[in-house]
Amino acid sequence: MSKDYYSVLGVPKTASQAEVKTAFRKLAHKHHPDKGGDANKFKELNEAYQVLGNEQKRKQYDQFGSSAFSGGGGSGGFDFSGFQQGGFSGGGMDFEDLGDIFGGLGDMFGFSSGRSDRGGTNRRGSDMEAILSIDFLEAVFGVTKEILLEKNVVCSKCNGNGAEPGAKIETCKTCNGKGRVLKTQRTIFGAMQVEAVCQDCQGEGRTYTEKCSKCNGIGIHKGEEKIKVKVPAGIDNGEAIRLTGKGNAGMNGSASGDFILRIRVNPSKDFRRDLYNIHTKETISVRQAILGDKINVKTIHGDIILKVPEGTQSGTIFKLKGKGVKKLRGGGEGDHFVELTVNIPKTISRKDKKVLEDLDI
């Protein structure tokens, strides 16, 4: 009897390849045996996807039904002949599918993403993060800070190679320096030939007669490092600086991680920053507002004289061009905006009151 693979995956016959793939991934996660699912249902899903996930096989299925695939290699009509050191080929399921389904379930089948370094084992050092608090003007003009990091550092005794000084280092005979070996495993799909980490060299591709006594053969140990960080002028609160290779050292000579420094800018009592512009407020008297005057204004670049014209209204904003913060990208500077507030006295003398009455304003 012909099997209805579309019903198995819960998709219509008009479903696109992307929709078929999405449906399979969702159901495969749900019914995976290692997650408490039904092994038979999981095999049925894979059988359906092996056909519908391949455009050529799907056309054959639509024309002849599942009988066109009976007697195929592997278990339940699966074809595992294309799985050799790189992923599935010719079976409708690509490497990414397997990584998504089995991800987080351990190295059950020895699948490798191909993104790893020496020996197929990714030993790159982990990234580090920290927060650096700086003053307002330090953010505006830039500053250099010295930071002490506690992290994994390259072993000073073996220089990161993991071998005791004087020990003999050889290419691993089991994996011939590759760090990974082919092995046959029995799975719910049947026997599969998979790649796995070499147990003799732990994926390093080499062996030595004696491990380093300081780092126990991993090439790193806990330590401290002082680094100088140049904080660029114009950086703002919440922005980050990435220092490549300044994170934790990698195992056995692998690359170090990065150090990410997030900037926290302490607020200023004198200035308010908006991107690259500066805002301040100044108070003037009624006389200054009416007759005009010159007042002293404090900016991040020093004090300047601002000319207040006659008849200035409270709330008037003046722009001091180029007196703001240096732009971090693109060059140039922002502006400084000064808002003037006219101070209206709550009480005045009789003499002043008479003058105002005579002015009739």
Do the Cβ atoms of 161 and 252 come closer than 8 Å?
yes
Q: Looking at the structure, tell me whether residues 147 and 261 fall in a common domain.
A: yes
Q: How many domains are contained in the chain?
A: 3
**Residue 212 assigned as binding residue:** yes
- Domain identity same for 224 and 185: yes
To the question of whether residue 21 is assigned a binding role by annotation, the answer is no
Of 249, 265, 281, the residue that ends a domain is: 265
Residues 245 and 290 in one domain: no
Domain contains 111:
no
Query: Is residue 52 located within the same domain as residue 32?
Result: yes
Cβ neighbours, 10 Å, residue 140: 24
CATH number at residue 340: 2.60.260.20
310-316: Cβ within 8 A, 24+ apart:
312/284, 312/288, 312/340, 312/342, 313/289, 313/342, 314/289, 314/340, 314/341, 314/342, 315/339, 315/340, 315/341, 316/340
pLDDT at 198: 82
This prediction's pTM: 0.56
Domain harbouring 236, CATH code: 2.10.230.10
Q: Is 201 annotated as a binding residue?
A: yes
Same domain, 89 and 208: no
Residue 122's pLDDT is 53
| Residue where a domain stops, chosen among 211, 235, 265 | 265
pLDDT at 34: 66
| Residue 71 structural domain | 5-106
Q: What is the pLDDT of residue 351?
A: 82
What's the pLDDT at 66?
Answer: 67
Question: Quick one: 241 and 139 in the same domain?
Answer: yes
Do 281 and 259 belong together in one domain? no
Q: Does any domain span residue 113?
A: no
Residue 344 belongs to some domain of the structure:
yes
**71 appears as a binding residue in the annotation:** no
| Same domain as 249, residue 287 | no
pLDDT in single tens digits along all 361 residues of the chain: 568 899 999 999 998 998 899 899 888 888 877 667 787 888 888 888 988 988 888 888 887 776 666 544 333 334 433 333 333 333 444 444 444 444 434 333 333 333 344 444 457 889 999 999 999 999 999 999 999 999 999 998 888 888 888 888 888 888 888 888 887 777 666 677 777 878 777 777 778 888 888 888 888 889 999 999 999 999 999 999 999 999 999 887 788 999 999 999 999 999 999 999 999 999 999 989 999 999 999 999 999 999 999 999 999 999 999 999 999 887 899 999 999 999 988 888 888 777 777 776 5
Residue 198 known to bind ligand: yes
